[in-house]
Amino acid sequence: MDTILAKWNEILETVRVEYDIMDVSFRTWLLPLKVYRVEDDEITLLVNQEQALTIIQNKYMLPLKVTIAEIIGTEYNIKFITPRDVREIEKSSSQSKPQMNETIERANLNPKYTFDTFVVGGNNNFAHAASLAVAESPGEMYNPLFLYGGVGLGKTHLMHSIAHFILDKDQNKKVLYVTSEYFTNELIEAIRNGNNTAMSKFREKYRNIDVLLIDDVQFIIGKESTQEEFFHTFNHLHSLKKQIIISSDKPPKDMETLEARLRSRFEWGLIADISSPDYETRMAILRKKEEMDGYNIDDEIIKYIATNIKSNIRELEGALNRLNALAKLEKKEITIEFAEEALKDIISPDAKKEITPELIIDVVAEHFHISSADIKGSKRNSEIVVPRQIVMYLCRDMTDTALKAIGNILGKRDHSTIIHGADKITDEIKKNDTLRNTIDILKKKINPT
């Protein structure tokens, strides 16, 4: 497009001279033409007045085609459109975009998690190849595809990549990504409703699907009715050759307390692991992230992060974000000393193992897709208040930290506020199965054993 635009005046002038076009004709027919689009071997030109279309097509199409080939060195087809066509094109593209966005939203996908943004390295190349194979022919090759690996190593990213790939090829495919926690909570709700309609709605949702992605399946261990329901969902989809993709923190054979019939089904298809990335892959991931987010950080700093954060890609990315945010906030340059100070909590090997209120705040914030600052802050909407009370409950339950200290960390709150918040959750858990399930999962996330 740029080359054509840059040479457009020269092209018109050449047509005028070589085809001996009178001034008045030149100004009437050729000068108002605008380059609308250049795609592959076709140039689309916008004709401002519908009445001019036939004349331009008949008289000037060939001269333009020949001159463009002479000047640019490539032969293009020339197409003409009118403002009315442009309106149609823009209307239909603005309709198809939200449609795709809606499809992605309905499937529960993160638009950023695609194969394009996934860095392939020695730690994940098998899982990546298996995912690509499944994406290319869902339901045919490996069913289920079982991806496993430690925390923050890219399982979710790969699962979403498969889903995007399938939807890009066929927007009408019914694709659904859910965490096993979400599946469990929906099931609890359906059961709690106590009527057949709720249960059949639940079943219809999960069985009327082409591709089902279930993340973090380890959290259904010990939940009998969830395992039972998932077992039937699995059988139903599998028998119809619908693709199932599962992720977990460990391979099926190590999920000892999972029902045996589910464990054996998880082993039917292909099992692929993702391990910790090596240094080169960590560097490549950081560079990709830097490029995508438009950061400009010294190579020395990138190497420092890649050398020191080894086992969790989420932390690797988090370190880069944190450096960038802090540098902006404090209006400082990112030097090695700055990075050392800013990342000391992440990099210090022992700091992470201990269960601290800070760790609890981070895990709860991530779980509820809010920021740690919100939890410590003063917002009072329920999206924040409930996670904040959960933090109070978990800090009291899982750490020895004094209530006063918990209060201080949580934005200088009084110790009676902490007691009140924690008690509220203790009471609520007794009557609310969904909350109990969430607390259960949060505890496992905070203290995976």
Q: Quote the least distance from Cβ 263 to ligand ATP, whole Å.
A: 19
Among 44, 124, 143, 356, binds ligand ATP (CB under 6 A): 124
Among 107, 216, 272, 406, binds ligand ATP (CB under 6 A): 216
Query: Which window, 95-103, 153-161, 170-178, 201-209, contacts ligand ATP (CB under 6 A)?
Result: 153-161
Report how far residue 179's alpha carbon sits from residue 399's, in angstroms, rounded to the nearest whole number: 27
230's tokens = 């998932």
The answer to whether 119 contacts ligand ATP (rule: CB under 6 A) is yes
The answer to whether 210 contacts ligand ATP (rule: CB under 6 A) is no
Q: Of 220, 212, 228, 207, whose CA–CA distance to 144 is shortest? A: 212
CA angle, 292 then 298 then 304, to 5°: 100
H-run or E-run covering 265? helix 260-266
The nearer residue to ligand ATP, 151 or 385, going by C-beta atoms, is: 151
Among 11, 33, 43, 153, binds ligand ATP (CB under 6 A): 153
The answer to whether 181 contacts ligand ATP (rule: CB under 6 A) is no
Query: Which window, 12-20, 145-153, 170-178, 392-400, contacts ligand ATP (CB under 6 A)?
Result: 145-153
The nearer residue to ligand ATP, 355 or 406, going by C-beta atoms, is: 355
Within a 10 A sphere around the Cβ of 277, how many other Cβ atoms? 24
Query: Which window, 74-82, 117-125, 260-268, 421-429, contacts ligand ATP (CB under 6 A)?
Result: 117-125
Q: How many CA atoms lie within 13 A of 258 on its CB side?
A: 21
Report how far residue 322's alpha carbon sits from residue 342's, in angstroms, rounded to the nearest whole number: 8
The gap between the terminal CA atoms of the chain, to the nearest Å, is: 57
Rounded to the nearest 10°, the torsion over CA 199, 438, 106, 270 is -90
Report how far residue 4's alpha carbon sits from residue 144's, in angstroms, rounded to the nearest whole number: 50
Q: Hey, which residues between 217 and 256 contact ligand ATP (CB under 6 A)?
A: 249
Is the CB of residue 288 less than 8 Å from the CB of residue 117? yes
Report how far residue 195's alpha carbon sits from residue 58's, in angstroms, rounded to the nearest whole number: 70
The nearer residue to ligand ATP, 68 or 163, going by C-beta atoms, is: 163
Q: Hey, which residues between 266 and 295 contact ligand ATP (CB under 6 A)?
A: 285, 288
The nearer residue to ligand ATP, 9 or 125, going by C-beta atoms, is: 125
The nearer residue to ligand ATP, 155 or 396, going by C-beta atoms, is: 155
The answer to whether 214 contacts ligand ATP (rule: CB under 6 A) is no
Report how far residue 297's alpha carbon sits from residue 306's, in angstroms, rounded to the nearest whole number: 13
Q: Say which residue the tokens 């003063």 belong to.
A: 378
Q: Quote the least distance from Cβ 264 to ligand ATP, whole Å.
A: 23
The answer to whether 118 contacts ligand ATP (rule: CB under 6 A) is yes
The answer to whether 155 contacts ligand ATP (rule: CB under 6 A) is yes
DSSP state of 447: S
Report how far residue 331's alpha carbon sits from residue 300's, in angstroms, rounded to the nearest whole number: 20
Binding-site residues for ATP sit at: 152, 154-156
The nearer residue to ligand ATP, 28 or 276, going by C-beta atoms, is: 276
Among 156, 184, 324, 389, binds ligand ATP (CB under 6 A): 156
User: For binding to ligand ATP (CB under 6 A), which residues are involved?
Assistant: 113, 117-119, 124, 149, 151-157, 216, 249, 285, 288, 313-314, 317
